[in-house]
Amino acid sequence: MIIVMSPSSTDEDLKRVENAVESRGLRCHLSKGEERTIVGVIGDKKQISQLEVNMLPGVEKSVRITEKYKLVSREFHPQDSVVDVDGVKIGAGHLTVMAGPCAVESEEQLMEAAKCVKDGGAQFLRGGAFKPRTSPYDFQGLAEEGLKLLRKAGDAYGLKVVTEIVNQNDIDLIAKYADMFQIGARNMQNFQLLKEVGRSKKPVLLKRGLCATISEWLNAAEYIASEGNMNIVLCERGIRTYETFTRNTLDLSAVAAVKELSHLPIVVDPSHGTGRWQMVQPMSCAAIAAGADGLIIEVHPHPEVALSDGSQSLTPKNFNATMDKVRQIANLMGRE
Ligand code: PEP
Ligand code: MN
């Protein structure tokens, strides 16, 4: 349930509502907007009746949320959320681009990639140091050495760093080097990992699972939010369908759906979404036109020798061309 306080309600009214909720063993999560405060009630909703809540002074109405997720729902927080990653804002009109190689391979590769990412106008450097590969015989990433290189390249070019966490035991290690955690598609329902990043304050990029519905994805985000971390950015990266020409089917309708259902920012990954570098530029443009808050794109100085995902990685030249086109679409849409 969410409880909407009326614009004229007082601090005492709010306190009374919080006490009523907490005395039943439930928890409150407040969302203070310009006009209204909204109280999200977390816990077994059978413990408190809507009638009782509606009769408390200062309460405008209460709404039973049919979906299980609350904190990430638009009902709970009607305005678009902005996630601030150490000064770089994601959401509410800002257009954020994260780019870099699939995996960190060497200092030379990463520095070259970072330069191109910066020159193209992106704000984040991406790159995996722990790679969740389909085959155990494929390159698994450079681990801490990769994290160090990411931090070094990020600092050298003034880029924020986003990198994937695959194991909850690595949380402190990754937090030391990165500005944002990435939860990959394969771990979208690794609930222990979701709770662990939820207990951290560091922003989280939550990718949609390979076969996840939008509701399952938002529930995964709720796991993070329910532990206290609201700095969540969703990422549509394609879902598994019967189509084989593309690696995945990029579901751009998810952008519009998420905008309706949630206040969280959403970025699109046209690289994993299609698996084909030729399709990255058109799908980037389409994502922005559909209202995405940003993009995450794989870029490699030499995709032909990449240790992972070369066939979907842009060359520096193609990345620049893509950014030019994206800027044109963004201008057309009245975006920054
Ligand atoms: C990645 O970003 O390199 C990655 C592994 O993505 P996903 O989890 O979407 O497959
Ligand atoms: Mn990849």
Any atom of ligand 1 within 6 Å of the Cβ of 207: yes
pLDDT, tens digit, for every residue of 120-173?
999 999 999 999 899 999 999 999 999 999 999 999 999 999 999 999 999 999
| Cα distance between residue 61 and residue 38, in whole Å | 10
Q: Is 247 in the pocket of ligand 1 (CB under 6 A)?
A: no
Q: Is residue 160 within a helix (H) or strand (E), and if so which, with residue range?
A: strand 160-164
Report the pLDDT value the prediction gives residue 48, as an integer from 0 to 100. 87
Residue-level pLDDT at 292: 98
- Closest C-alpha residue for ligand 1 atom 9: 185
Element holding 235 (H helix, E strand): strand 232-236
pLDDT digits (tens, 9 = 90+) for 217-253: 999 999 999 999 999 999 999 999 999 999 999 999 9
**Strand 232-236 with 59-63, pairing:** unpaired
- Asked whether 306 lines ligand 1 (CB < 6 A), one says no
- pLDDT for 9: 95
Residue 294 pLDDT grade (very low, low, confident, very high; cuts 50, 70, 90): very high
β-pairing verdict for 180-183 and 160-164:
parallel
Q: Which atom of ligand 1 is nearest to the CA of 237?
A: 9
Distance, CA 127 to ligand 2 centroid (Å)? 8
Q: What is the pLDDT of residue 68?
A: 86
Index of the ligand 1 atom closest to the CA of residue 185? 8
Least trusted range by pLDDT, from 74-78, 114-118, 270-274, 301-305: 74-78
What is the pLDDT, as a whole number, of residue 45?
Answer: 73
In this predicted model, what pLDDT tens digit does every residue of 182-193 receive, in sequence order? 999 999 999 999
Atom of ligand 1 lying closest to residue 128 CA: 3
Atom of ligand 1 nearest to the CA of 132: 5
Indicate if the pLDDT at residue 203 is higher than 80.
Answer: yes
Contact assessment for residue 293 and residue 275, using Cβ atoms and an 8 Å cutoff: no
Q: Which ligand is nearest to the CA of 310?
A: 2
Taking the C-alpha atoms of residue 124 and residue 252, their distance in angstroms, rounded to an integer, is: 22
Integer distance in angstroms from the first to the last C-alpha of the chain? 36
* Residue nearest to ligand 1 atom 1, measured at CA: 102
pLDDT > 70 fraction of the chain, expressed in percent and rounded: 100
Q: How far is the CA of 189 from the centre of ligand 1 (A)?
A: 14
- The pLDDT assigned to 64 comes to 83
Q: Whose CA is nearest to atom 6 of ligand 1?
A: 184
Contacts of 101 (CB under 8 A, 6+ apart): 109, 110, 113, 126, 127, 298, 299, 300, 306, 313
Q: For residue 32, what are the contacts with CB-CB under 8 A and spacing of at least 6? A: none
Cβ distance 234 to 265 under 8 Å? yes
Q: Phi then psi for 233, rounded to 5 degrees?
A: -120, 130
Nearest CA to ligand 1 atom 4: 184
Q: Copy the structure tokens of residue 237.
A: 């990266």
